[in-house]
Each structure stands twice: as structure tokens, then as C-alpha cells.
């Protein structure tokens, strides 16, 4: 295997030094073009203009609908297997940005069932993380009239009938070829549940363009769902995808994770904890001494504090460019860059935590985001189920 191919990217494993261009060849996705970037709402989002969202599938129908004030939706979900960290949250703030700019309908599925199949955790543990994660999602501040949150086990009356219908469209050989041999039959069935998530906005609201902004490792879910939609048995469009690079772990290249031993910055971390994690763990692109750094400069391309600022935590392009230039020329030291990044991240988290603390009870807050009975019936009818199956016996 060539050195540049010595990496693994699947929904369940990310390993090695990732070559994002070669991933596009593997997955058959296309780069997000400069022209497509200009068609996102103005002001453009840093994740788009800085090439963090770098690839796409069928993004143009979504952009057409968004710019023409026609129905369009986003699906971006959460697998509640642990506390949320900063790498988990930025797609949701991106979805909120689109909702504010163009009135995007946002669907947020919680795959608590998948995490039970995948992780060595009890349903009680998964349920506890679900409740914690839901509060973090509610703190983002979505418009409840334009947002629906679906929890697989709590919304099984909708999710299961649809997944049952879609499961007939997917063979076990397709699952094995796409994901590898599943560890259990729950994971074999899960692609049908994921297809339910991605098609649900259309099944409820009618045929329209849907976009799925996800990290590139989740693209296999989209590919399987697009195959289902292409079979024309349901009045839906293939969902499009907006694929992102991974937010780096503090230790350097790779995907930030809250489920392994690598440190990550949690949404619950206070300012002191954030600063300590950045100072202690964040991989530096600087030199081994101040004198050498002043003389030769640092490398912002591999410096994790700079990358965190570039990805999400510094809005100003001018400030980002200034930091990179000063770091390269050596006038900005690694320690100073770490302090700047810690300040920005802590400020973001404090604002998020304040909104989270202001929420009332989870049940009360969540009620405005649940599918209505009319919406549930519409989705079930799309799957061929009568409004009350038992009454038809």
C-alpha cells in the first residue's frame, strides 16, 4: 500500500495520516468549488470559505432552493456515547447559521440505538448521555418552528416503520462492502435507520433538497441512503452532502474524540481547564527554543492552537492571516498563540454554557422540537403504513 494510502476512514474508525484528496477518490465525492462557496449565504461562514467543508455531493440543488426561498433542509445528528466536545458542536452552529440566513429546516436525529450496538455501555448510560447531549443541542438556539429533534428509541413509532421499509432495499453484502463485517445484527440493520434520518424531512414535508453536513468519515451513510432514494419507490430526492475535514485532536493530526485516551476540550470545560489543556497538550508547530523560533519561525499548518482558530474559533480572516504570518516570521511565540486560542475557545464555551444553564427542564424545552402527530402520520404513510395499523386488522 502506498504511504499516502496508509490511513483508515470509516464511520467507526479513523486512523493514520489522512490524505483528504485521496479520500475523495475512494468515496467518489467532488471538491466544493469556488463558485459553489460563493452561493452560500452572505456573510459566508468560516467553515465554508476556509475549506473546512471541502467536498460535496449534489450541493447545487440545496443552494438553488436556499437562494430562491424554496423548501430545503439540513440533517445533522448526534451519537450520544459520551459528553460532547468542541469537534461535535461546530456542525450544529453551522446549521443554525443557515437556518438564520435562509430559513433552513433542520432535523437533528439522535442515534442512541446505534451507540448501544457499537459501544460497551448500558442503555442507562446511553440514556444519560442522550439527556446531557440534548441540553447542549438546545443551547445552540435553534428556531423550534424550523427544527425537529428525533431520538431513535423515543421516536420508534416513526423511525422503526420507515427503517423497516428501507431495510428491504439494502443487502447484507452492501453493508459488508460499505462498513466491513458488522459486529452484531444491530449494526447490520442500522444503515436503514440512518437512511430514515436522512430522508425524514422529505417524508414529513414533501420532496425537496436536503443537505447533510458531516465529517467525511460519515459519508458511507449518505452513499447507502442515496442508493435507496435512487430506487424511486419513495417520492424523495437523493440527499446531498457537505463533507468536512476533522477538527484535530490536541495531540496532533487525527480526529478529536471523547471516547479514547486523547485529550479533548469538552463543552463543559471551564476557562481554567481549557487553558490547562491547551498549554499542556496542544501540539505546537513552534521551535524547540525561543531563540530558534525567533530566528526560523513556526509552522501554523501543523500547529493545533492555530488550526482550532482557523477552523472555527476566530471569525476574522484578517486576524487569522495576521496570526499565521507572525507565527511564520517568529514574532509570535507558541506560548502566545496557545494563550490566544485558549481565550477564544473559553469565551465561546462560556457563552454556550450560559445558554445551557438558562434552559428549563429538558422535557419542557424539548417538547417544542418534537415531531407533531400530524408529522408522524405523514412519515408513516410514506412508508406504506396506515395511520393506525391495528385498526385495519
User: For residue 35, is it within any domain?
Assistant: yes
Lowest-confidence region among 81-95, 202-216, 223-237, 257-271: 257-271
Q: Residue 310 sits in a domain of what CATH number?
A: 1.10.240.10
Q: Which of 380, 379, 362 is nearest to 137 (CA)?
A: 362
Grid coordinates belonging to 175: 453493508
Percentage of the chain with pLDDT > 70?
93
Name 281's Cβ contacts closer than 8 Å, sequence gap at least 6: 250, 251, 263
pLDDT-derived band at 332 (thresholds 50, 70, 90) equals very high
191 lies in the same domain as 334: no
200 lies in the same domain as 152: yes
Residue 393 has pLDDT above 80, yes or no: no
Residue 6 has pLDDT above 80, yes or no: no
Query: Average pLDDT, whole number, for the chain?
Result: 91
Q: What are phi and psi of 212, to 5 degrees?
A: -115, 100
Lowest-confidence region among 12-26, 55-69, 105-119, 150-164: 12-26
Higher-scoring residue by pLDDT: 21, 359: 359
pLDDT-derived band at 368 (thresholds 50, 70, 90) equals very high
Domain of residue 53: give its range. 3-249
The pLDDT tens digits for 217-251 are 888 899 999 999 998 788 899 999 999 988 888 98
Distance of alpha carbon 217 from its chain centroid, rounded? 10
Name 244's Cβ contacts closer than 8 Å, sequence gap at least 6: 47, 52, 53, 54, 91, 213, 214, 215, 216
User: For residue 206, is it within any domain?
Assistant: yes
Q: Alpha-carbon distance 202 to 196, whole Å?
A: 10
Q: Which of 90, 65, 108 is nearest to 310 (CA)?
A: 90
User: For residue 388, is it within any domain?
Assistant: no
306 lies in the same domain as 283: yes
Residue 114 has pLDDT above 80, yes or no: yes
What is the DSSP secondary-structure string of 190-244? Answer: HHHHHHHHHHHHHHHH-S--EEEEEEGGGHHHHHHHHHHHHT-SSS-PPPEEEEE
The pLDDT tens digits for 187-198 are 999 999 999 999
Residue 91 has pLDDT above 70, yes or no: yes
User: For residue 381, is it within any domain?
Assistant: no
211 lies in the same domain as 304: no
User: For residue 199, is it within any domain?
Assistant: yes
User: For residue 389, is it within any domain?
Assistant: no
Residue 299 has pLDDT above 80, yes or no: yes
94 lies in the same domain as 229: yes
237 lies in the same domain as 270: no
Look up cell 402527530; give the residue: 373
User: For residue 341, is it within any domain?
Assistant: yes
Mean pLDDT over 36-54 rounds to 94
245 lies in the same domain as 261: no
Strands 73-75 and 210-215, bridge-based pairing: parallel
244 lies in the same domain as 320: no
For residue 295, what is the enclosing H or E element?
helix 290-296
Give the pLDDT confidence score for residue 263 in this predicted structure. Answer: 80
26 lies in the same domain as 101: yes
Give the pLDDT confidence score for residue 2 in this predicted structure. Answer: 46
User: For residue 366, is it within any domain?
Assistant: no
230 lies in the same domain as 313: no
- Tell me the C-alpha to C-alpha distance, in Å, between residue 169 and each of 117, 165, 252: 21, 8, 40
Residue 158 has pLDDT above 70, yes or no: yes
Mean pLDDT over 366-385 rounds to 91
Give the pLDDT confidence score for residue 13 in this predicted structure. Answer: 67
Mean pLDDT over 289-301 rounds to 96
219 lies in the same domain as 325: no
Amino acid at each position: 500500500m502506498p504511504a499516502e494510502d496508509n490511513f483508515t476512514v470509516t464511520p467507526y474508525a479513523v486512523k493514520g495520516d489522512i490524505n483528504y484528496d485521496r479520500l475523495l477518490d475512494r468515496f467518489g465525492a467532488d471538491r466544493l468549488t469556488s463558485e459553489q462557496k460563493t452561493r452560500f449565504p452572505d456573510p459566508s461562514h468560516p467553515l465554508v470559505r476556509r475549506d473546512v467543508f471541502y467536498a460535496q455531493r449534489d450541493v447545487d440543488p440545496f443552494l438553488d432552493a436556499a437562494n430562491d426561498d424554496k423548501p430545503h433542509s439540513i440533517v445533522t445528528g448526534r451519537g450520544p456515547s459520551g459528553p460532547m466536545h468542541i469537534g461535535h458542536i461546530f456542525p450544529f452552529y453551522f446549521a443554525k447559521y443557515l437556518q438564520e440566513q435562509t430559513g433552513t429546516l433542520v432535523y437533528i436525529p439522535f442515534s442512541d440505538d446505534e451507540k448501544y450496538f457499537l459501544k460497551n455501555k448500558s442503555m442507562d448510560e446511553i440514556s444519560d448521555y442522550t439527556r446531557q447531549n440534548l441540553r447542549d443541542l438546545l443551547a445552540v438556539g435553534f428556531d423550534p418552528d424550523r427544527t425537529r429533534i428525533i431520538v431513535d428509541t423515543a421516536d420508534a413509532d416513526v423511525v422503526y416503520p420507515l427503517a423497516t421499509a428501507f431495510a428491504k432495499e439494502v443487502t447484507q453484502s452492501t453493508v459488508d462492502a460499505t462498513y466491513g463485517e458488522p459486529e452484531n445484527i444491530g449494526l447490520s440493520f442500522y444503515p436503514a435507520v440512518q437512511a430514515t434520518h436522512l430522508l425524514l424531512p422529505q417524508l414529513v414535508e414533501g420532496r425537496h433538497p436536503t443537505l447533510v453536513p458531516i465529517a467525511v468519515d460519515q459519508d458511507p451513510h449518505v452513499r447507502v441512503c442515496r442508493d435507496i432514494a435512487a430506487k424511486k419507490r419513495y417520492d424523495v430526492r437523493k440527499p446531498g452532502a457537505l463533507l468536512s475535514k476533522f477538527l484535530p485532536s490536541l495531540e496532533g493530526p487525527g480526529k478529536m474524540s471523547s471516547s479514547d485516551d486523547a485529550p479533548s476540550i469538552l463543552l463543559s470545560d471551564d476557562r481554567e481547564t481549557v487553558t490547562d489543556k491547551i498549554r499542556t497538550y496542544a501540539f505546537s508547530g513552534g521551535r524547540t527554543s525561543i531563540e530558534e523560533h525567533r530566528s526560523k519561525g513556526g509552522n501554523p499548518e501543523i500547529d493545533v492552537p492555530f488550526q482550532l482558530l482557523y477552523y472555527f474559533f476566530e471569525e476574522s480572516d484578517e486576524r487569522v492571516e495576521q496570526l499565521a504570518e507572525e507565527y511564520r516570521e517568529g514574532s509570535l511565540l507558541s506560548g502566545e498563540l496557545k494563550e490566544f486560542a485558549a481565550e477564544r475557545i473559553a469565551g465561546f464555551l462560556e457563552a454556550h454554557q450560559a445558554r445551557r444553564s438558562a434552559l428549563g427542564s429538558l422535557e419542557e424545552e424539548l417538547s417544542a422540537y418534537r415531531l407533531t402527530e400530524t408529522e408522524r402520520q405523514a412519515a408513516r404513510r410514506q412508508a406504506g403504513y396506515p395511520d393506525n395499523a391495528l385498526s385495519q386488522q
